Structure 1
Amino acid sequence: MNDLDAKAANVLGAVGLLVAGAVREAVTGVVGAGGVLGEALIAIKDQPGRTADWLASVLRISQPGSAHLVRRLTEAGWVARGTARDGRSRPLRLTEAGERVAADALAARQAVLAQLSERLTRRQRQELVEIADALLGPEARTEQLLAELCRLCDRDSCPRCPVHAGWLRVCGRDGGGWDGGDS
């Protein structure tokens, strides 16, 4: 590995930590607790009707951890459990209060990410979009990975998501990629 390759890899790791920490802090400020509460709310918002087992796999937590998480979300009044079709797994959906908290968490996430991206020139932001497309698109090899990678995304901000496009390519459908837009 040459100096540029080593530095690029190292800097990518540092940027990842910067972004993850800033997002975690912003979402935690809204949700009132750290961990996966915010991720769970946003994942359920994006895919209502999924089960606690699905949520556990997306958040990469244990089944008991998922059960505890769903209980906390239910006790907070943010999640309602539906009627089970198979008698065991009950679909999850956000309550009105949960929808508000999820929307607030996404807004806080977007605000902190906008602050970070404002440090870049328009050209650098376009290059960042292209870099993200190159890094994220190939990772979406399954629907599960798609859900994992987008578990904290504001899908309205990203109509041509590189992760979804990558997953569509895996499925044999043209998914395009980010066009960068004007934002």
Structure 2
Amino acid sequence: MHDARLENLLGAAALAINDVMLADVHGAGAVSGSSAAALVTLMESPGISVTDLGKRVRLTQSAAVRMVDSLAAAGLVGRSPGAGRLVSVNLTPSGRDTADRILAARARSLAELVSALDDAEREAMTSLLAKLLARLYGEIGDSNVLCRLCDRAGCTRSAVCPVGQAERDRKA
């Protein structure tokens, strides 16, 4: 069944949610959306290469280098030699604090949004979003990209992450 209204509502909501969330994230970290995602990614994957970090936040190699240069100049990340020609990137204490503020701002904006739902609606939305995220994993194929600005502990505290499960299912 084709439901143009549902698709339109979903598209408008997705865009508006992203706008609100990223505005709050930017305010908390004073960095771009890509840089915010990079800081959060480095919390989960310290020491990854500039190249891998760029892939996870969907930047070209040259754009990733410029982003890391900017984050290093701001004192949020440091570089160290990795294997071969690779350079690993790690958060500084200031970078970790900024990443924590980014995740807190993201959580506040999303909590405010879902406060309009009652308990039954929240449960239904949780189930529907889990299903949509598993489907999106099939499209994107990389949990690190899909969950680049996620509070991973928050997602897995009381249930299995649908993206992680989709990834495990694909590998099985």
For the Cα contact (< 8 Å) 1:23–1:109, is it kept in 2? yes
Instruction: Determine helix, strand or coil for the equivalent of 2:78.
Output: strand
| Counterpart residue number, 1:53 | 51
Task: Give the TM-score normalised by structure 1.
Answer: 0.87
More helix by share: 2
Q: Equivalences for 1:43-122 in 2 at 5 Å?
A: 43-86=41-84, 88-122=85-119
Give CA deviations for 1:140-176 in whole Å, capped at 9, x if unaligned.
Answer: 359962011100001121112111111111122xxxx
Which residue number corresponds to residue 24 of structure 1?
A: 22
CA RMSD of aligned residues (A): 1.7
Gap change, CA 1:9 and 1:25, over 3 Å in 2: same
Which runs of 5 or more structure 1 residues have no equivalent in the other structure?
173-183
Residues 58-87 of structure 1, C-alpha deviation per residue, up to 9 Å, x if partnerless? Answer: 12211111111000111111111122211x
- Per chain length, whose mean CA-contact separation is higher, i.e. which structure has more relative contact order (CA < 8 Å, sep 6+)? 2
- Name the count of aligned residue pairs: 169
TM-score for both structures, normalised by structure 2: 0.92
Unaligned runs of 5+ in 2: none
1: CA distance, partners of 2:111 / 2:119: 13
> Shift of residue 91 of structure 1?
1.2
Q: Distance in 2 between matches of 1:34 and 1:98?
A: 14
For residue 116 of structure 1, report the CA deviation from its aligned partner: 0.2
Asked if residue 167 in structure 1 is aligned to residue 157 in structure 2, the reply is: no
The AA in structure 2 aligned to 1:162 is P
